Amino acid sequence: MSDDLIRNTPSPEGRLLGTVLARLHDAAAPAVLAEFPDHAERCASCAFRAGSFPNGCVITTMDALKATVEGTPFYCHHDCAEDGSPTALCAGWAIAVTSIDEAAGKQLSPLTANWEFSK
């Protein structure tokens, strides 16, 4: 592992942030799935699934929350090309972002998260 990388592991703070992500998904899921019954489901290790490993990692949850608030695509870690680049949007993010889209429609300016994505 490179010296400049931080190991992404679950922590109490990550778990707290993860509950927010899971709630965003869970609040939006019934309406989205009623309208789009064939919508992709979250994977078992989705950052938007309460209790999953990524759902408890600060770095992952902060990136997922920023992507959700800003409407920036957040990709699934399972669907990757041979070079490791992502090929599919995260199904949990795709549902969670609809709750932010509805709230943002009532705002006069776009929502932003005042931090950078992890590297």
pLDDT in tens, the chain (119 residues): 456 666 789 999 999 999 999 999 999 999 999 999 999 999 999 999 999 999 999 999 999 999 998 889 999 988 889 998 999 999 999 999 987 766 555 554 456 777 788 87
In a domain, 111, yes or no: no
In a domain, 116, yes or no: no
- Contact status, residue 109 vs residue 98, Cβ threshold 8 Å: no
Domain that holds residue 64: 12-104
In a domain, 67, yes or no: yes
- Contact status, residue 72 vs residue 118, Cβ threshold 8 Å: no
Residue 101 CA: distances (Å) to CA of 1, 57, 69, 82: 37, 25, 8, 33
How many structural domains compose the chain? Answer: 1
In a domain, 117, yes or no: no
In a domain, 44, yes or no: yes
